[in-house]
Every structure is written in C-alpha cells, then in structure tokens.
Structure 1
C-alpha cells in the first residue's frame, strides 16, 4: 500500500501548520476526507439536492435513489443480512442511545444485569448507566488485565443468566485493544442475552462482518472512516429492531396519524424521523467505495506495521509512559511524557505542525484505572507513514527538553 499516494488524495493534508508540513495524528477523533468523498457530496448538492421518499419530481427521485442506495452500500459493507437492518443515525452516540432507550426498557427488570467494561467511551457507558438507574438493573463491569485487554475467562465469570445486555467497544479508543467480540457474543447468547458492539474505532480500520461476529447490534460513525460528520449507522438484527419502539417522532417515520393515535412505518424508516441526513449518506457511500478500493485488509496490515514502528520509536524516549499492550493491530498510541500535562505536550507539538489529541478521551473511568487524569494520543490511518512517526518522536524529544 502506497501511503504517500493515498495521502495525496486528501486535500487538507497538503498544507503547513505553523510553518511546518502538517502531520495529522488525530484520526481516532475524526479522519480526513478524500477528494472522492468531497466531490460526491458537492455533486449531490449541485445536481440532486431535494428531500427524499415523498417527492415524485426528478430531483426527489434522484435523492431517494442516492439515499437508499447508500443504505444498500452500507449493508454490503458490513455484511448485514437485510438492507432494512441498516438505520441511518447521526453517529455512534445516537445509535447506542437508541438501543439503550428503546430496546433496553423492553427487556430489563429490576435485578437484571447490563455488562460493559471500564474501557468504554462515555457514549457506551452513560446510556447503560442511566438505563440501569431507570429500570433497577445492575450495571456490571468485566475486569481488565494489567495491559488493558479482556480475558474470556473473566467474561465467563461476569456474564450470568441474569445478563440481558452486554455492550463493548470492538476497539478501545484509548488502549488500542481489539476485543474478542465474536467469542464474547457466543458467551452472551449462551446465557440468553444480546451483544451490542461499539464499532466506532473498528469499522474504519478492519473488515467487519456483523453476521460472522453474530452481534445483535453494531454502531459506527461515518466521520471516522473518511465520510462527512453527522452520519452514522445502527445495524440491528431485524427481529430485534421490529420489537423496538421509535423514540423520535415526527415526519418521515409515520404510517398513519390520527388525532389520538398513530402508527409507524416499517423498518428502517420508523427510526428515521424528520428529514434524513441525505448528503451524509451519499458521502458515506463514497467513503466506503474509497476504502474498499484500497482494501480494508491492506489498511489493517499497514496500520499494524506502522503501530509496531511507532511503539518502537516512542519506547526509546526516556520518561515516556505508553499505555496498552505492546503489540496491537490498530494504529493508536496513548502516552504521557514525564509529569507534563498532555495539553501542554499537544500544544508544543502543534507549533511543529503535528496534530494529536490530549485529554481524557471521553473515558474518565478508564483514566482512573490507568491512574492518570488525562493522556496524549496519537492515532494513525492509511495516510500516515513512518516519516510521520519520526516527526512525532523527534518533536516529543524536543518537548521533553523544553519542559525539563
């Protein structure tokens, strides 16, 4: 895979920041967008912009075809059995909240269990926390090993016949851990529960097949995988989605409305109230085309190799603490430098044209587990190279000298 050639297809990366060529190492927060995606969104607005489903005019038909065509594209991309199992949402957060707010109350009673891990992003923690409070369910945590990974033995000990929902990130946005969600789903199903997967950090970086994983729900965001912001997906097994009630009401999602009662459209439209995210869906379909042209397996191999190189370079820096397993399959590195606040480290790196993330990464319980108030994070993607890692390592050495 030619990362330099791929990088040239991202206009934003061809610029200088503070007089230095930009090194973008914040793709876990949001990836950059290639020309192919930018052009697809622009073409939609220039030629096909209209509302979908109800219009019989030409622009409305084109917009509807593009929107529903994007749904079919997503279904093929993640291996869904049926197109109606794909619900367009604003992103992973909205998707997980829908499952917690609609499916959760229908199956939980006081004393039932919801199981998650301490590594979860707040978007996959707070909805379950609040659901447990509303229903009287018990929120349980699968313990983490010292390097942050999950052992199946601990899953077996935590999940019981009272466990109705298990929700977990496929890939941790802090530790870079790839969780064995397929094996965990089998354990959950054996106990009669459902498996919810936060795919925000996995879908951009590796091939995903929801049928092979046998998860019951799978959520991801477009903006982390080269698509526009504001578009995401909830996959759910058809029979589970059919059992759920919508939580957002208005236009588009109704079948018949009376003065005192209403009925809903069939899947997936009953969950897509209001004017949908049409341009975002068009951009997401274009992003999927772009990713598959390169190949998800190729992207995964590139990131695995780059992560190994990055871990090696950063491990050479005295006073730098690197969190998570030494070997990892995704290009995500979380660290602290001496006792310098991560925001100060990130600010110094920005003066050298290097963009990283600093803070608690929406994982405050995990920060406490790591015994750190916050950390710095460099996250890689297909457009990063070993030269970018060298720039990062050299900048961190300069930052260390600056704060010494």
Structure 2
C-alpha cells in the first residue's frame, strides 16, 4: 500500500493551515474525498444531470443507469444477496430511523424489549428511545466491561425471548472497539429478535459481509468512506423490507394513487420517495471503486498499525488518559490531557495545522459512563501516516507545556 501515492489523490491534503502543513485526523467525523470521487460528481452534473426513473430521454436514461449502477456497487461491496435490498438514504441516521419507525414501531408492544449498548452514537440510541416510548416496549442496555468492550455472557443475559430488536454499533466512534456482531446476531436470532447494525464507523475501514455476519439490517454513510455528504444506505433482508411500510410519502415511491388510497412500489423504491441524491449515489459508487482498488484488507491492516502506533506514542505523554482497549481497535484514539479542556486541546492543535475532534462525539451516555463531559479524538484513515501521529504527539506535548505554564 503506497501511502504517498494515495495521498496524492486527495487535493485537500496539500495545503497549509495556520502556516503548517495540514494533518487531518478527523476522518471518523467525515473523510476527505479523492479526485476520482470529485470528478465523478462533477462529470455527472456536467454531462448526465437529469431525474431518474421517470424520463425516457437520453440524459434520464444515463442518470438512471448511474444511480442504479451505484446501488449494485453497494450491494456487491456489502455482499448483499440482491441490489433491491439496498435503500439509498441521507446517511446512517436516516437509515436507522427508517428501521426504528418503519419496522420496530409495527412489531413492538407492551412487554417487548429493544436492546442496545451504552456506547451507541445518538443516531443509534434516540430512535430506539422514541420507538420504545411509542410502543410501550422496554429499552435495555448490554453493560460494558471496564475497558469498554462487550462480554458475550452479558449479551446472553440481556437478550431474552421478549427481545424484538437488538441494535449495536459495529465499531465505537469513541472507544474504537470492534464489537462481535456475528456472535451477537446469533444470540439475537436464537431468541427470535432481529439484528440491526450501525456500520458508520466499520464500513470505511474493514471488509463487511452482511450475509456472513448474519445481520438483518445494516446502515452506513458515504461521507465517512471517501464519498459525498448526504448519501448513505440501508441493507435489509428481503422479507423484512417487504413487510415494512414507508415512512415518507410522495412522488416516485407510489404504484397507484386514488383519491382516498394509494399503493406502494416494490422495494427499494417504496422507501425512496421524491428525487433522490443522484449525484451523491454516483459519488458513493466512485468511492467504492476507489476503496476496492486499494483493497479493504489493506486499509484495515494499515489503520490497525496506525492505531497501535498512536496508542503507544500517546501513552508516553505524562497526564494523558486514553479511552478504550489497546487491542482490537480501529484507527482512532480518544483521549484527555489532565487539566486541559478537550476544546482547548483541539484549538491549540489547530493552530499547528492538526485537525482533531473535541466534544461528546454524539455519545453523551458513554461520556457519563467514562465519567467525563467530553474528550478529544484523533481518527485515522488510509491517507494518514506515522509522521502525522508524530506531529500529533509533539503538538500534545507542546499543548501540555503551554497550559502547564499558563496554570503555573
């Protein structure tokens, strides 16, 4: 894997921020885009721009082919059985809300259970809170081990025959931990529940096979995997999708409309009302082509090396606390410096051209479990190097010294 050649594909990385070469360590929030993705979106708008599925003219046909071609690429990327199991959404949040509203609210009731974990992003927590409130179901949490991992014994003890839905993130956006999704799915299915996966932080970084994992629904976003913002997808098993009602209504998702009643198209179109994000889908397809040209296994290997290197380097800094396990993590390190607020850490690092994220990372219950209000997070992707982590380490040492002198 030629990192320097890969970096050349990302125009945004070749700039200075505050007089320093940019070190972008915020890919868990949103990744940068390679030239091939930028060009694909530009080419669509310059040559093929038209609405999909409706027109018989040439531009409409080309736009439809590009849109449906992107759907086929997503299906192959996840190893879905068929392309119609892929629903394009605005992103992971919309996809998870679709399952919570379109599925859970129709199957859950008093006495039923929805099971999640305290490490969930708000996008995979609030929809289930709302579904539980609307249906009278009980929301339950699989407890975390002291290092933030999940014990399968706790999974067995939390999921019961009353559980209807289990929804867990594949990778924590704070702890970096990789959860045993295949094993959790098997336990869920033995109890008659379905398995939903938040794949926002896993899909960009590791090979995903929804059939091998045995999941029922899988959601992800394009902007975290070199694609455009505003596009994502939901994979669902065919029988579950066919049994779901849409939650958005309007043009394109209908079959027949009468004055007092309407019927819906087949999947996936019944869930894609209105004009979709066509250019976003084109860009997502180009992003998949780019990632596959490098190889997901290579990307996974590279990021694990960076995560291990970062963990070891940052551990040498006095007064730093690193959250999450040392082993079995993807390419991010979440940390705090003693007596320095994470926002101050991020501000000083930005003055040195280093971009990290600071805050609660849309994981307020997890922050409370960690007994902090916020953290700083450095997240890595295929274009990052050990030199980037060296810059981060030096920047944190200088930040600590600066605030030490200021406090002293």
**TM-score of the superposed pair, with normalisation by structure 2:** 0.99
Alignment of 1:118-129 (within 5 A): 118-129=118-129
Deviation at 1:240, TM superposition (A): 0.1
Aligned partner of 2:284 in structure 1 is 284
- Is 1:383 matched up with 2:383? yes
Alignment of 1:212-291 (within 5 A): 212-291=212-291
Question: 1:31–1:225: 8 Å Cα contact kept in structure 2?
Answer: yes
SS of the equivalent of 1:204 reads: coil
| Inter-partner Cα distance in structure 2 for 1:263 and 1:195 | 28
RMSD over aligned CA atoms reads 0.5
Aligned partner of 1:358 in structure 2 is 358
Aligned partner of 1:49 in structure 2 is 49
| Inter-partner Cα distance in structure 2 for 1:342 and 1:81 | 44
Aligned partner of 2:23 in structure 1 is 23
SS of the equivalent of 1:80 reads: coil
Aligned partner of 2:91 in structure 1 is 91
Deviation at 1:3, TM superposition (A): 1.4
Deviation at 1:327, TM superposition (A): 1.6
Alignment of 1:2-401 (within 5 A): 2-401=2-401
Deviation at 1:329, TM superposition (A): 3.5
Q: Which moved more, 1:321-330 or 1:347-356?
A: 321-330
| Inter-partner Cα distance in structure 2 for 1:136 and 1:339 | 43
Deviation at 1:328, TM superposition (A): 3.1
Q: Deviations over 1:81-123 (max 9, x none)?
A: 0111000000000000000001011110111000000000000
SS of the equivalent of 1:100 reads: helix
Question: 1:348–1:399: 8 Å Cα contact kept in structure 2?
Answer: yes
Question: 1:256–1:263: 8 Å Cα contact kept in structure 2?
Answer: yes
Q: Deviations over 1:265-289 (max 9, x none)?
A: 0000000000011000000000000
Deviation at 1:358, TM superposition (A): 0.2
| Inter-partner Cα distance in structure 1 for 2:338 and 2:321 | 8
SS of the equivalent of 2:382 reads: coil
Q: Deviations over 1:52-103 (max 9, x none)?
A: 0010000000000000010011000000001110000000000000000010
Deviation at 1:16, TM superposition (A): 0.2
Q: Deviations over 1:12-48 (max 9, x none)?
A: 0000000000000000000000000000000000000
Question: 1:171–1:201: 8 Å Cα contact kept in structure 2?
Answer: yes
Q: Deviations over 1:362-392 (max 9, x none)?
A: 0000000000000000000000000000000
Q: Deviations over 1:191-240 (max 9, x none)?
A: 00000000000000000000000100000000000000000000000000
| Inter-partner Cα distance in structure 2 for 1:48 and 1:226 | 22
| Inter-partner Cα distance in structure 1 for 2:312 and 2:86 | 40
| Inter-partner Cα distance in structure 2 for 1:62 and 1:44 | 9
| Inter-partner Cα distance in structure 2 for 1:177 and 1:70 | 30
| Inter-partner Cα distance in structure 2 for 1:7 and 1:175 | 26
Moved over 3 A (4+): none
SS of the equivalent of 1:335 reads: strand
Q: Unaligned regions of 5+ residues in structure 2, if any?
A: none
Q: Give the count of matched residue pairs.
A: 404
Question: 1:26–1:379: 8 Å Cα contact kept in structure 2?
Answer: yes
SS of the equivalent of 2:172 reads: coil
| Inter-partner Cα distance in structure 1 for 2:70 and 2:326 | 38
Q: Which moved more, 1:325-334 or 1:290-299?
A: 325-334
Question: 1:320–1:335: 8 Å Cα contact kept in structure 2?
Answer: yes
**TM-score of the superposed pair, with normalisation by structure 1:** 1.00
Q: Unaligned regions of 5+ residues in structure 1, if any?
A: none
SS of the equivalent of 1:321 reads: strand
